[in-house]
Amino acid sequence: MASQSQIFAGAFADPVFSAQSVFKSLMDGFARPGQIMRLEASSVPPSPMGAAAGAVALTLCDHDTPVWLTPALAKSAVPQWIAFHTGATVTDSKTDARFAIIEKGAPVPGFDQFSLGTQEYPDRSTTLVIEIEALSGGVPLTARGPGIKDDVTIAVRGLPEVFLDFWSANRAIFPRGIDLVLTSGDSVLCLPRTTRIARQEV
């Protein structure tokens, strides 16, 4: 069994203000897709969950948001940690999940395996929180769409090869589709379903 200290420790020291500050960063992040946002509040979730993913979970998850975890996270103390600090339950079903959390290096399931919302309620889709190697220093991609003046370059490192295919398929079913929070260290980069991403011409 997960030790008590793993489950009960590591949440925000100041729950209200920390959650508000992380929420603001995420809101700004989704309003300015592709921009790297440093979170000002930190959490220490049980391994192998990353700090920024933990902060996102503490901020956004609650009793009404079932969470899907990768097998490695589900086996760790993370389910109990999330249950205790946010009230959210862990679900095995990707389509029931309002959030899905994927730790660094874990295989990323196809986006269409998660809840994509409906035409009437496109908001009922899953938000994926994926921890990657780094939010910069990777192959540059061009992002366009609402919240981006002209275009912006993103160069994240550690996404699977098939990411662009997943993402364009996700774009094609708009207004349905998942939203994405990429995390690394204490920072996040948000990609709402409205963002179009393409390889840069050499």
Q: How far from each other are the two terminal CA atoms of the chain, in whole angstroms?
A: 52
CB 131, CB 183: distance < 8 Å: yes
- Work out whether 62 is an interface residue with other proteins (CB under 8 A): yes
Distance in angstroms (rounded) separating the CA atoms of residues 53 and 187: 9
Total interface residues for other proteins by CB under 8 A:
17
Nearer to other proteins (CB atom), residue 79 or residue 177? 79
The contact pattern for other proteins, residues 84-123, with x = CB under 8 A and - = no contact, is: xx-x-xx---------------------------------
Distance in angstroms (rounded) separating the CA atoms of residues 68 and 74: 8
Distance in angstroms (rounded) separating the CA atoms of residues 26 and 200: 26
- Work out whether 47 is an interface residue with other proteins (CB under 8 A): no
Q: Give me the count of residues in the chain.
A: 202
- Work out whether 4 is an interface residue with other proteins (CB under 8 A): yes
- The least distance separating other proteins from the CB of residue 62, rounded to whole angstroms, comes to 6
Binding site for other proteins (CB under 8 A): 1, 4, 7-9, 11, 62-64, 79-80, 83-85, 87, 89-90
